[in-house]
Amino acid sequence: MTSAVSYELVDEIGVITVDNPPVNALSHAVRQGLHDALRAAQQDASKAILIICAGRTFIAGADITEFGKPPQEPHLPDLCSEIENASKPVVAALHGTALGGGFEVALSCHYRCALATAKVGLPEVKLGLLPGAGGTQRTPRLAGVRAALDLITSGNPIDAAKAASLGLVDHLVEGDLREAAMAWCGELVAKNAPRRKTSELRVETISDGVLAEYRSKLAKRARGQIAPFKIVDCVEAAMTQPFPEGMATERKKFIECMQSPQSAAMRHMFFAERKSARIRGLSKDTPQRDIGKVGVIGAGTMGSGIAMNFANAGMDVVLLEVSDEALSNGLQIIARNYVGGIKRGKFTEAEALERRERIAGTTEYSSLADADLVVEAVFENLGLKQDIFAELDGVCKKGAILATNTSYQDVNRIAAATTRPEDVIGLHFFSPAHIMKLLEVVRADKTADDVLATCMALAKKIGKTPVVSGVCYGFIGNRMLSHYGREAQLCVIEGATPEAVDTAMEQWGMAMGPLAVFDLAGLDVGYKARQGLPEDQRGDPRASRVADTLVEMGRCGQKTSAGFYRYDADTRKRTSDPEVQALIEREAEALGVKRRDIDSSEIVDRLIFALVNEGMKIIDEGIAQRPGDIDVVYVYGYGFPAFRGGPMHYGDAVGLDQVLARVNEFRQRFGADNWSPAPLLEKLVADGTNLTDWAKANCS
Ligand code: 3H9
């Protein structure tokens, strides 16, 4: 055995226990230990073998930290076939999350029992992979082809009851898992239960048409990704090939995925997301403040969505507005959002009601006196926000956290409006706030450590992915976006149509093209933000020229059914508008811009390298703690494709020397105002290194 796996013979049952915290990942020590224990169990007096795990979960998958390193024997597929070919019945006892390679171990066992609270799944696709230890061959044999396709291409776990209904789990148990599993093993031994080899089951066949339909659905749902299509190929092989050949097909395609840049990008995202929760200079045991009651100021779209997050997580919320009318509008937005959630199957009617009832309305600041946290979400005006914080300073209890949802304003100046700047922090939600995963947590100069630690933990509690940002105009996400958006709009003025720009970016993998995003967010939002800035800080006036004119024509985007595009009032489908094209050509002429053909590779490079270059400056200034944090911001907040790993990972994957060469080319062609290479980019290229290695040495 190894330190990660122990074996004992108890009442005729050979019990193999995996104990490899935190999630019992299948490291080399676990695979070796399982191999050794299986051998021992087959040589002693045991009549059945039980595989069970210590700690919080059954095996949660292959050890992702070993990927990319030379593989060491025993390999997982071989171990799975050793389990299946064992001379005695093997039973898996599942709790927690039996995922990926862990679930494949269970599928190789002859019987599976699970606690009702357990979840099972094959999430490899989320790492740009496919199940590589028989998952694509054994799942369709047990659950049928369609269920296997849904489970493996989505990567989403299912609960034990669903797994049992699909035939993936045989027996649900309650109470103490070990006791219940031992008792069931005893029953199986008593009735001389046979060894049931999953590989020997027949696979039901489905028609080619169904598979073709599945592939065409995936072409939309998983645009640009390779793993989901290889998964369908493997499941098809389970239908058309004998088990050993099917396994060979799976192996070949697994290796292709493992060696793909897409999987490297998605594995990077897995670790970046977990790392982004760590705050440099803050110990893990920093005390946290209790948050039971939350105040939200402003019942617009943002404030209402923000309030729902806290109510959904079981907290009491007071929503404050200046007038009864505005308050009632906000409460209606909330009611509508809950109805939407019921329709989408997010929660039941009763749950929605309970959550809604946790949100009380008020027009009195005194109602916030006992709130543990207040989030201000009024429109972007520094003076107004400072007035609100001065008022909160007078009203709120000692120790309350005072947060602003500002997208752009200086959190230090907002904090300075209070006598307790250490309690002030930025919590920047993304619209729609009750749905989007990203939360930028803005650490101001005087924000106390326990305030920051509390907000990071709270973010997790309300289901967000938090990323810490320092204070600067637009923080991490919107500061970078202003460069991306500038290039998108300059491409339009210089000769590309809005559709050409959006299509190029969507085909590259962005969830939505930039101009369609502007229309969705409301062109008036950017317009007002620009008007609020001194002229010399409004950026390249050529870039916003078309958007400003559209707003002045009353075309504010989707909400007015017209912006860069025209929108169908019912379906919100966008269509191009000749009127906008004529406007673009007029404005270009007025600006003296000679229009030309711009190909999609120039569009993509200008927009994405503008992000990478600004991201480098943000890292250099310490606004972001590490490059991976920026990637998390972009993937979770801006629709950047996870399979490209976020802008900073993408820059590294392309090669920083290539990025710098293109940035310098753009500087020559378009001027140094918009294209000054980041000093960190120049330094890393001069040093012959990349961002990943630099981050390992410089960012904790
Ligand atoms: C696979 O199995 C391939 C096979 O088909 C074929 C092979 C041939 N490996 O998420 P948490 C770490 S692919 C290594 O914060 P939670 C994680 O980094 C794999 N480490 O906890 C973190 O470390 P740290 C298929 C792993 O309770 C710590 O554990 N499996 C792995 O919120 C705690 O993680 C998956 O994709 C791993 N597999 O969630 C499952 N998993 O503390 C991936 C976790 O240093 N894992 N760590 O930051 C998960 O989805 C979640 O971690 C889980 C727990 C739901 C298990």
The verdict on the CB of residue 124 being under 6 Å from ligand 1 is yes
Q: Which amino acid is at 154?
A: S
Q: What is the CATH number of the domain that holds 328?
A: 3.40.50.720
Could you tell me if 662 and 685 are in contact, meaning their C-beta atoms sit under 8 angstroms apart? no
Query: Is residue 436 domain-shared with residue 536, that is, in the same domain?
Result: no
* The pLDDT value given to residue 381: 87
Q: How far apart are the CA of 60 and the centre of ligand 1, in A? A: 6
Amino acid identity for residue 537 in this structure: Q
For tokens 């679930």, the residue is 103
For the question of whether the overall pTM of this predicted structure is more than 0.75, the answer is yes
Predicted confidence at residue 380, as pLDDT, reads: 85
**Which CATH number does the domain housing residue 240 bear?**
3.90.226.10
Helices (H), 241-278: 243-258, 261-276
Pocket of ligand 1 contains residue 105 by CB under 6 Å: no
> Among the atoms of ligand 1, which is closest to the Cα of residue 99?
30
With a CB cutoff of 8 Å and minimum separation 6, the contacts of 411 are 404, 424, 425, 426, 442, 444, 471
Buried b (16+ CB within 10 A) or exposed e, 258-275: bebbbbbbbbbbeebbeb
Of the three residues 440, 469, 498, the one that is the final residue of a domain is: 469
Task: Assess whether the previous peptide bond of 123 is cis (omega < 30° from 0).
Answer: no
Whether residues 511 and 654 share a domain: the answer is yes
- Cα angle 231, 235, 236; round to 5: 115
Ligand 1: nearest atom to the Cα of 104: 5
pLDDT of 570 reads: 85
User: Considering the domain boundaries, does residue 287 fall inside one?
Assistant: no
Is the CB of 284 within 6 Å of ligand 1?
A: no
Which residue's CA is minimally distant from atom 16 of ligand 1?
23
Q: Residues with Cβ < 8 Å from 263, sequence gap 6 or more? A: 127, 128, 129, 227, 257
Whether the bond between 22 and the residue before it is cis, its omega within 30 degrees of 0, is: yes
**pLDDT reported for residue 42:** 96
Note whether residue 37 is domain-resident.
yes
Mean pLDDT, consecutive 10-residue stretches, the chain (700 aa), reads: 90 96 97 97 97 98 93 96 97 98 98 98 98 98 96 97 98 97 97 96 88 93 95 96 97 97 97 93 91 96 95 97 94 93 91 95 96 95 95 97 94 98 97 93 97 97 97 95 96 97 97 95 86 81 93 94 93 94 96 96 98 98 97 97 98 98 97 96 97 92
Same domain, 619 and 488: yes
* Residue from 18, 23, 258 to probe ligand 1 pocket by mutation (most atoms less than 8 Å from CB): 23
Distance in Å, CA 172 to ligand 1 centroid: 24
Quick one: which of 401, 483, 392 has its CA closest to 442? 401
Q: Name the strands in the sheet holding 293-297, side by side, starting at the edge strand that comes first in the sequence.
A: 359-362, 316-320, 293-297, 373-376, 401-404, 424-429, 438-442, 465-469
Task: Report whether 375 contacts 427 (CB < 8 A).
Answer: yes
CA 538/CA 548 separation, integer angstroms? 12
**517 and 636 fall within a common domain:** yes
Residues labelled as active-site residues = 104, 124
Domain that holds residue 170: 5-258
> Is 152 a pocket residue for ligand 1 (Cβ < 6 Å)?
no
Find residue 439's DSSP bridge partners: 429, 466
Question: How far apart are the CA of 126 and the centre of ligand 1, in A?
Answer: 11
482 and 461 both lie in a single domain = no
- Is 281 inside any structural domain? no
CA of 470 to the centre of ligand 1 (A): 29
127 lines ligand 1 (CB under 6 A): yes
| Cβ atoms of residues 473 and 408 within 8 Å | yes
Does residue 87 sit in the same domain as residue 191?
yes
**Residue with the nearest Cα to atom 19 of ligand 1?**
61
Instruction: Retrieve residue 482's tokens.
Output: 């202003």
Inside any domain, residue 176: yes
The answer, yes or no, to whether any atom of ligand 1 lies below 6 A from the CB of 25, is yes
The reply to whether 23 and 126 lie within a common domain is yes
What digits encode the pLDDT tens for the residues 270-296?
A: 999 999 999 988 888 899 999 999 999
CB 654 within 8 A of CB 235: no
Residues 498, 373 within the same domain = no
CA dist 556 → 82, 512, 523, 547 (Å): 64, 18, 5, 9
Of 30, 58, 64, 75, best ligand 1 pocket probe by most atoms within 8 Å of the beta carbon: 64
Specify whether the backbone of 475 is left (phi greater than 0), alpha (psi in -120 to 50) or beta. left
Both structure tokens of 540: 């390249």
Q: Is 22 close to ligand 1, i.e. is its CB under 6 Å away? A: yes
Q: What is the distance in angstroms between the CA of the first residue and the CA of the last residue of the chain?
A: 35
The dihedral built from the CA positions of residue 191, 197, 201 and 203, taken in this order, carries a sign that is: positive
| Nearest ligand 1 atom to alpha carbon 131 | 5
Query: SS3 for 284-330, per residue?
Result: CCCCCCCCCEEEEECCCHHHHHHHHHHHHCCCEEEEECCCHHHHHHH
Cβ-based neighbour number of residue 354 at 10 Å: 14
Q: Is residue 694 part of a domain?
A: yes
Return the SS3 of 122.
coil
**How is residue 276 written in tokens?**
């982004």
- Residue whose Cα lies nearest atom 48 of ligand 1: it is 274
Is there a contact between 389 and 295 (Cβ–Cβ < 8 Å)? no
Do 631 and 488 lie in a common domain?
A: yes
Ligand 1 contact, 642 CB (< 6 A): no
pLDDT digits (tens, 9 = 90+) for 95-140: 999 999 999 999 999 999 999 999 999 999 999 999 999 999 999 9
Residues 429 and 485 in one domain: no
Residue where one domain finishes, among candidates 425, 448, 469: 469
CATH number at residue 554: 1.10.1040.50
23 C-alpha to center of ligand 1: Å? Answer: 7
For the CA atoms of the chain, what is the radius of gyration? 28
Pull the structure tokens for residue 594.
Answer: 């000679």
Residue 426 sits in the same domain as residue 552: no
| Residue 271, CA atoms < 13 Å, CB-side half-sphere | 16
Is the beta carbon of 128 within 6 A of some atom in ligand 1? no
Q: Is the CB of 189 under 6 A from ligand 1?
A: no
> For ligand 1, what atom is nearest to the CA of residue 275?
48
Q: List the one residue out of 279, 319, 312 whose CA is nearest residue 296.
A: 319
CB-ligand 1 contact for 56 (6 Å cutoff) = no
Q: Is the CB of 132 inside a 6 Å radius of any atom of ligand 1? A: yes
**CA 514 / ligand 1 centre spacing (Å):** 33
Instruction: Please report the atom of ligand 1 found closest to the CA of residue 135.
Output: 5
Nearest CA to ligand 1 atom 7: 132
Q: Whose CA is nearest to atom 46 of ligand 1?
A: 60
Number of domains in the chain: 3
| Ligand 1 contact, 61 CB (< 6 A) | yes
Residue 280 within any structural domain of the chain = no
Q: What is the 3-state secondary structure (H, E, C) of 430-448?
A: CCCCCCCCEEEEECCCCCC
Ligand 1 atom, smallest distance to 274 CA = 48
Length of the chain: 700
Asked if residue 298 belongs to a domain, the reply is: yes
Ligand 1 center to 314 CA (angstroms): 27
Residues 457 and 532 in one domain: no
Is the CB of residue 99 below 6 angstroms from any atom belonging to ligand 1? yes
Domain stops at, among 449, 469, 489: 469
Within-domain flag for 536: yes
Contact 369, 361 (CB under 8 A): no
